[in-house]
Amino acid sequence: MRLNEVFKQYLLDCEVRGQTRETLLWYRRRLGFFVSAMEQSDVTELEQVQIGHLRQFVQRLMTTKANERHPNKPTQEKTLSLQTVRGYVRSIKTFFTWCVDEELLGVSPAARLVQPKAPEYLIPTFSQKHIEIMLASCDQTEALCFRDYVLLLVFLDTGMRLSELCGLHVTDVYERYIRVFGKGRKEREIGIHPEVGKLLWKYIHKYRKPANPAEEGLFVGRYGEPLKLRGVEDLFKRLKRNCNLEGVRVSPHTFRHTFAKMYLEQGGELFKLSREMGHSTVQVTEAYLKQFRSAEARREHTDFSPIGQIDLKKTKRSNRRKKENL
């Protein structure tokens, strides 16, 4: 069986099973690159793929420049991040597991393919000062700036994903919560602060001016069209440029981490946080605890440090006596 044809059938099956557009795009890009790389190595049949081919492909990924294959972004000097490489490996393993389930293969050649170990970094979150600077940069007397102001508060108050925010409809906004369709086409409700609820009401009834009166999208752009992912990304580029924030990535995902960290700092329960963030398991949410636990440990360091049990003044006197004896 031609590898390229099997790949197309896999994408078709993913679509039939109701995978989201983002998930389909994820597989199309990553597995498409994999299939192309195999064909360049004269591996055109599904049965030809061996573990050695997969390892060589992963090795190739680890030397590929970031954005090298992106049609709209310039190639960077740095290579793909290990997290990106791990995403490719997950896609390949999922694809070959499907091939086994469909009885196209007896054994998956990716069964022994090991994920490259990625370092675990703490993701810096926004401080209160960062947030205040970004909000203050929005001139609330102008329609678009008021929209931006409310949009930032929704990110901070809900921790929702960028794709979820762009998919919001006016009918999804209620007095105390927002209805969201997240990953896996799963619907959930996220609570909102009363102040954010009032500002959303004001935006909808005063500043939201859709080009088409029948437009359902909650956030609209300059010309009344639904706000897309690229529009929000451009907003964050302007924020980074105008606010001159240092030491933190200015992005919607940083707001998501900031929401989780501040939610826990205020005494929120991990299980409820997991539900509001739309995670499949609590274990996924625990990844967001790394930053929180690190900050908590640092703040309490003085209280529990062994240095507190030592009288440093006595050590100074002891050093002085030693000098006298010399």
Query: With a threshold of 0.75, does the pTM exceed it?
Result: no
pLDDT of 49: 96
pLDDT of 296: 61
Taking all residues of the chain, what is their mean pLDDT, rounded to a whole number?
Answer: 86
SS3 per residue for the chain: CEHHHHHHHHHHHHHHCCCCHHHHHHHHHHHHHHHHHHHHCCCCEHHHCCHHHHHHHHHHHCCCECCCCCCCCCCCCCECCHHHHHHHHHHHHHHHHHHHHCCCCCCCCCCCCCCCCCCCCCCCCCCHHHHHHHHHCCCCCCHHHHHHHHHHHHHHHHCCCHHHHHCCEHHHECCCEEEEECHHHCEEEEECCHHHHHHHHHHHHHHCCCCCCCCCECCECCCCCECCHHHHHHHHHHHHHHHCCCCCCCCHHHHHHHHHHHHHHCCCCHHHHHHHHCCCCHHHHHCCHHHHHHHHHHHCHHHHCHHHHCCHHHHHHHHHHHHHHC
The answer on pLDDT for 318 being more than 50 is no
Domains of the chain: 3-101 (no CATH), 128-298 (1.10.443.10)
Q: How confident is the model at residue 19 (pLDDT cuts 50, 70, 90)?
A: confident
Angle at 36 between CA 31 and CA 37, to 5 degrees: 95
pLDDT digits (tens, 9 = 90+) for 97-120: 999 999 999 999 999 999 888 666
pLDDT digits (tens, 9 = 90+) for 124-172: 889 999 999 999 999 999 999 999 999 999 999 999 999 999 999 999 9
pLDDT of 308: 62
pLDDT digits (tens, 9 = 90+) for 178-231: 999 877 678 899 999 999 999 999 999 999 999 999 999 999 999 999 999 999
Q: How confident is the model at residue 273 (pLDDT cuts 50, 70, 90)?
A: confident
